[in-house]
Amino acid sequence: MLSARPNLARDVAIAAAVLVILLLLPYVWPSKMINDLVIRVSAFALFATSLNLLVGYTGMVSFGHGMFFGFGAYAFGLSMQRLGVSIPVAFLITIVSSALLGLVVGAISIRLKDIYFSFITLAFQMLLYSTVIAWVPLTGGDQGLMGGIPRPPFLGIDLSIESHRYAFAVTVMVVGLLILRQIVESPFGYTLRMIRDNTERATFLGINVFRAKLTAFMIAGVFGAIGGMVMALFVSGAYPEFVNWTMSGEGIFMIMLGGFSTFIGPAAGALILSVLNDVITRGTEHHGLFLGAVILLFALGLRKGVTDFVADWFRVRREAASRTGS
Amino acid sequence: MNLDALTDCLTSASCLVTQTTSGLIIGMLLFLVAAGLTLIFGVLKVVNFTHGSFYMLGAYFALTVNGLTDSYFLAVLAAAAGVGLFALVFERFFMSKVYGSNVLMQLLVCYAFILILDDAVKIIWGPEFKSMGMATVFQRPPIFFAGGIVPVFYLFLIIVTLIISVALGLIITRTRFGTVVRAAAVNPSMVSALGINTGLVYSGVFVLGGMLAGLAGGLAAPVRSLTAGMGFSVLIESFIVTVIGGMGSIPGALLGSVLIGLVRSFGSIGFPLFVEGLMFMLMAIILILKPSGLLGKEG
Amino acid sequence: MARKRVDLDRRTVLKGAAAGAAATIFAPNIVAAQNKVIRIGMPTILSGRVAQLGTSSRNAIQMEVEKINAAGGLAGRQIEMVIRDSKGQPQEAARVSRELVNSDGCEILLDAEASSGSFAVQEVAKDLGVLVMHTNSETSSLTADPKIRIPLAFRSCRQGIHDAVVSGAYAAEIAKAKKFNRWGTCSPDYAYGRDNTQLFVEYLKHFYPQAEVTTEAWPKLFQPDYTEVITRVLQNKPQALYSALWGGDLTSWVDQANIYALFSQMEVFAINMADYTVLTAVKNLPKGIHSATRYIKTYPKTKANAEWGDAYRARFKEYPTNWSWENWVGIHFIAEAAKKANSADGKKIAEAMRGLKIDCPFGADGTVTMRAEDQTVIGYAIGWGTTISGEPYVPEVTGANWDTILKLEAEWKKRNNYT
């Protein structure tokens, strides 16, 4: 097994560098639009990377991951609106409750294989969506949580100030991705890869496949919910769209566009899809036509996500070099 | 939740008749769409998420032809033919490129088309919703039947759909094309080893599935309002139906459709605000108890 | 003064937006507020099933901004509209609104979103401190609820509570005359449908206490197949039926109910029926459906109204919608307030708008007023009548009494602790 230590140091260094760059960005390139974009991408990057823990690393294709994104947004929003707690406490509530949701949904869904796992995660998500829409007194129904989410200051951070909100969002994203990276590069992460590639072998080696998958599902759920929480803070609300299957679909597309065999692929995909969406909707009202055409180009032209493409290109070059050189 | 109303209905003959026929009505139209979806999955192992858009195109083609010829029957034929043609182009030039890929890549291609088609429809036919109107032959009072009410048009739809499902069943089980299709579903390499062009078979299946969806769109057009995005709810429901009935099983699609129709029909009395939730619950239950669906094959 | 035309067709906005997009991606700090132009951002729905909401709003704005600019614009500054599509998703509406203000230099927001989007845009306006005029959101709580209300937010469209009082009064008259004690409802299951229907029932009973709702059907918004909903209503056999269905849903519901001969078995009150798009789309329109006036060029029966309707139709090849006149009111309030304050500054316009009365072809007495206490419009024409299947579609309209409306609205607010 690879030793985790050297990777941790390197990863922390990279994370710190990225964080510094992102924090300095508003001063180097002042643009409210860029700030808003970065905050949204932070939420989606967490969401997509958490989904890839399941799709790319464990081979579990979940069609219902949006349920965690939406659940996180509502759990956080409701805690702040109804319980009047501080933001760190609401954060904790969101984490614990989404882990529980992951436990319950996962325990039932993971027993199914392949496409049936995908279908049942979708069914559970739509059940949650129907409940959110129907339970009007609690969730506001199709209007979502109205009246804004209170942002009381904590630990000297005041999230009603835009710069604080920006810094908070990017910090949560970087730290969240760093943690996910450690999970993925840990022995547990390699267990997941083995389950993806050869479940039988994993079982023979004495691994409790069900427990490993369930743990992965819960972790993915929690980080997806954190992404939802960041979004809720940004729009100061929670909407049923967050829990809808279109959100799950967007997560899948981010992974496909960005690449599912690299760690940073989903985050790259989140960036690509958000920029595409923003640019196209600014430019034309026929955004379906253009976005669809671009997606087709990716799917039929590149045939793989951007980072996969780049990674493969490097690998081919390296292999060619090692064949000719040395 | 209104369980009293539900039990009242179940014990009243007229309510039973009306609600059961209404369940059948809902189910039959759903079946046409779901049949195509399940056929494509059964043979090509591809979930055709564009299927709802096929339905939408069928409705719009019917609208245009009906406007030109004032004939409902021509409109429906045009819908089937037009969408069949479109399905051919879609399959040959786009879907076939991703047969070997990840299911998610296929999903991506379908999603791209949904986006493009919704915009195309809006550009060609306009953003406001359209209405086709009922053919004069059906503009007559409904039939009363043991206290229940059945509109003439819906009776026609049920009969037509039954005929089509029988025809479909015969095609699949009695014709050479059907035999090849069933063989290709089970063992494609063997089929091509026998010298049959599997590419053609796949195209044929897609065309057939597309025609069914287009037919459904055209048939339902008189009682629907046509707008971009109308295929979406049909897609979700036919998806639920195929999962419940069993992906790849046409009898399963029939059973699933009727079941969903009845759930909607009686469910709206007992659980008026949670009918959608009911359907997803049913889907989840089937997946847990028998993932391959009610009439699907195991494994 | 030479007439200065500001061409607002899509190509220009596209070109401008494309250039703007390029500029904002590759260069920071777009300086939008040039001296002569004031940009007004308009988030709306231009795609999907409700696309007509956005297109008809945009049409009306296009027509009126040309007139306003020809008359000098806002305190000498020419208006430039920047219109964006939110696809009907509230978080997109929020994002688009923020972008309009932050990156496109819009100083005022004309929010042409539907109700769910309007709450999201309200949050953005609150955050960014810009003047926002809601032109399409009918949910009363947007302005009635002091927890949601903000000083810089105004509403120029009709609202649920006003409509409910009028509908209840009208329906009660007929119920009294024909002894309609058994009522059914069939409305879309979402905030607008629920609130609208619940308020209607409340005021129906207020004016005619013997009325009782014996069946409720709640189809989902955009549900294609209403069979189970129709049969359920027919089973119950109410004497009269109220429906808040609208647009394409109402059209397909009427088509489907027709073949069940529902209209010969009960009298139907469909508040959103008298909308030209629906009236012209329904091919076999049954006679005698009661409806409120959404936009109809024959009520108010004035030359100004008829001329506007015809001008709109001549230009856009379709009749105006309810959204069209509501946007007329929105932009004209801004223009008149700017004239009164002699300024294009949002806060000054807001101050001038509170309590302002303007001439309006769609006002019950030729004017409408922006009530100061909750910054929403009153005095617009509301009426009910029965439909026929050809022009003028609603030949006789019973107009509403605004004194009654205002009195009952005040009581409703007190009951809901909104004061």
Average pLDDT of chain C is: 89
Q: Lowest mean pLDDT: which of A301-315, C57-71, C154-168? A: A301-315
Highest mean pLDDT among A149-158, B21-30, B92-101, C324-333: C324-333
Is the per-residue pLDDT at B40 higher than 80?
yes
- Tell me if C55 sits within 8 A of C136, measured CB to CB: no
Indicate which of B48, B99, B104, B125 best probes the interface with A, i.e. most A CBs within 10 Å of its own CB. Answer: B104
C-alpha closest to that of C34 among C84, C96, C107, C92: C107
Confidence grade of residue C24 (pLDDT, cut at 50, 70, 90)? very low
Q: Is the dihedral of CA B49, B50, B54, B59 positive or negative?
A: positive
In angstroms, the CA C172 to CA C263 distance is 19
For residue C217, give every residue at least 6 positions away whose Cβ sits within 8 Å of its Cβ, in sequence order, or none.
Answer: B268, B272, C184, C185, C186, C187, C229, C232, C233
Which of C224, C235, C318 has its CB closest to that of B18?
C235
Which of B103, B115, B287 has its CB closest to that of A291?
B115
Which of C28, C29, C91 has its CB closest to that of A241?
C91
pTM of the full structure: 0.87
User: Inter-chain contact C102–A141, Cβ cutoff 8 Å?
Assistant: no
For chain C, give the percent of residues with pLDDT over 70.
Answer: 92
Highest mean pLDDT among B74-88, B259-273, C82-96: B74-88
Give the CA-trace dihedral at A113, A270, A225, A220, to 10 degrees: 40
Q: Where are the domains of chain A?
A: 8-245
**Residue C194 with chain A: CB contacts under 8 Å:** 136, 141
What is the least distance, in Å, from the CA of C274 to any CA of chain A?
26
Average pLDDT for residues C113-122, to the nearest whole number? 91
What is the least distance, in Å, from the CA of B152 to any CA of chain C?
8
Average pLDDT for residues B113-139, to the nearest whole number? 89
Confidence grade of residue C263 (pLDDT, cut at 50, 70, 90)? very high
**Residue C230 with chain B: CB contacts under 8 Å:** 22
User: Inter-chain contact A299–B112, Cβ cutoff 8 Å?
Assistant: yes
C-alpha closest to that of A294 among A283, C91, C104, C16: A283
- Predicted pLDDT at A2: 47
**Residue C190 with chain A: CB contacts under 8 Å:** 133, 141-142
In angstroms, the CA C378 to CA B283 distance is 49
Q: ω before C300 within 30° of 0 (cis)?
A: yes
Question: pLDDT tens digits for chain A (326 residues)?
Answer: 444 556 888 899 999 999 999 999 999 988 888 898 999 999 999 999 999 999 999 999 999 999 999 999 999 999 999 998 999 999 999 999 999 999 999 999 999 988 889 999 999 999 999 999 888 889 988 888 887 888 888 888 888 888 899 999 999 999 999 999 999 999 999 999 999 999 888 889 988 999 999 999 999 999 999 999 999 998 888 999 999 988 998 999 999 999 988 999 999 999 999 999 888 888 887 888 999 998 898 888 888 888 988 888 888 988 888 887 65
What is the least distance, in Å, from the CA of B264 to any CA of chain C?
7
For residue A128, what are its two tokens?
């949650």
- Tell me if A41 sits within 8 A of A219, measured CB to CB: no
- Tell me if B164 sits within 8 A of B32, measured CB to CB: yes
**Residue A31 with chain C: CB contacts under 8 Å:** 24, 28-29, 103
CA C177, distance to chain mean position in Å, is 32
Which of A120, A256, A289 has its CB closest to that of B116?
A289
For B128, which residue in chain C has the nearest alpha carbon?
C52
List of chains touching C (3+ CB pairs within 8 A): A, B
- Predicted pLDDT at A6: 60
User: Inter-chain contact A55–B103, Cβ cutoff 8 Å?
Assistant: no
- Predicted pLDDT at B149: 80
For B96, which residue in chain A has the nearest alpha carbon?
A300
A119 at interface of B, judged by CB pairs closer than 8 A: yes
Q: What is the pLDDT of residues C70-96, one digit of tens each?
A: 999 999 999 999 999 998 888 889 989
For B232, which residue in chain A has the nearest alpha carbon?
A246
Indicate which of B9, B14, B129, B233 best probes the interface with C, i.e. most C CBs within 10 Å of its own CB. Answer: B129
In angstroms, the CA C96 to CA A36 distance is 11
What is the least distance, in Å, from the CA of C139 to any CA of chain A?
10
Which of B14, B128, B233 has its CB closest to that of C222?
B233
C-alpha closest to that of C183 among C160, C204, C206: C204
User: Inter-chain contact B139–C284, Cβ cutoff 8 Å?
Assistant: yes
User: Inter-chain contact A249–B111, Cβ cutoff 8 Å?
Assistant: yes
For B94, which residue in chain A has the nearest alpha carbon?
A300
Q: Which residue has the higher pLDDT, A5 or C38?
A: C38
In angstroms, the CA C69 to CA C119 distance is 30
Phi, psi for residue A140 in degrees, rounded to 5: 80, 5
| List of E strands, chain A | none
**Residue B9 with chain C: CB contacts under 8 Å:** 235
For C51, which residue in chain A has the nearest alpha carbon?
A285
Q: Angle CA(B114)–CA(B58)–CA(B119) in degrees, nearest 5?
A: 35
- Predicted pLDDT at A100: 97
Indicate which of C31, C116, C121, C418 best probes the interface with A, i.e. most A CBs within 10 Å of its own CB. Answer: C116
Phi, psi for residue B134 in degrees, rounded to 5: -85, 140
**Residue A119 with chain B: CB contacts under 8 Å:** 243, 283, 287
For B118, which residue in chain A has the nearest alpha carbon?
A288
**Residue C87 with chain A: CB contacts under 8 Å:** 281, 287
Q: Which residue has the higher pLDDT, C165 or A309?
A: C165
- Using beta carbons and an 8 Å cutoff, which residues of A are at the interface with C? 29-33, 36, 40, 133, 136, 140-144, 146-148, 231, 235-237, 239, 241-242, 278-279, 281-285, 287-288
Indicate which of A62, A130, A142, A246 best probes the interface with B, i.e. most B CBs within 10 Å of its own CB. Answer: A130
Confidence grade of residue B48 (pLDDT, cut at 50, 70, 90)? very high
User: Inter-chain contact C234–B149, Cβ cutoff 8 Å?
Assistant: yes
- Predicted pLDDT at A325: 61
Residue A246: burial class (beta carbons within 10 Å; 0-12, 13-18, 19+): middle
User: Inter-chain contact B288–A112, Cβ cutoff 8 Å?
Assistant: yes
The CA–CA distances, whole Å, from C24 to A235, A277, A322, B50, C103 equal: 22, 15, 44, 35, 7
Q: Lowest mean pLDDT: which of A168-182, B88-102, B285-299, C127-141? A: B285-299
ipTM of the complex: 0.86
- Predicted pLDDT at C305: 95
List of chains touching B (3+ CB pairs within 8 A): A, C
Is the per-residue pLDDT at C13 higher than 80?
no
User: Inter-chain contact A33–C102, Cβ cutoff 8 Å?
Assistant: yes
A304 secondary structure, DSSP code: S
For C218, which residue in chain A has the nearest alpha carbon?
A134
**Residue B98 with chain A: CB contacts under 8 Å:** 299-300
Count residue pairs from A and C with Cβ separation < 8 A: 99
List of chains touching A (3+ CB pairs within 8 A): B, C
User: Inter-chain contact C231–B19, Cβ cutoff 8 Å?
Assistant: yes
For residue B22, what are its two tokens?
């209404």
What is the least distance, in Å, from the CA of A181 to any CA of chain B?
23
In angstroms, the CA B149 to CA B143 distance is 6
Which 3 state secondary structure label does DSSP give A29? coil
Which of A239, A282, A284 has its CB closest to that of C20?
A282
Average pLDDT of chain B is: 88
User: Inter-chain contact C49–B227, Cβ cutoff 8 Å?
Assistant: yes
User: Inter-chain contact B104–A252, Cβ cutoff 8 Å?
Assistant: yes
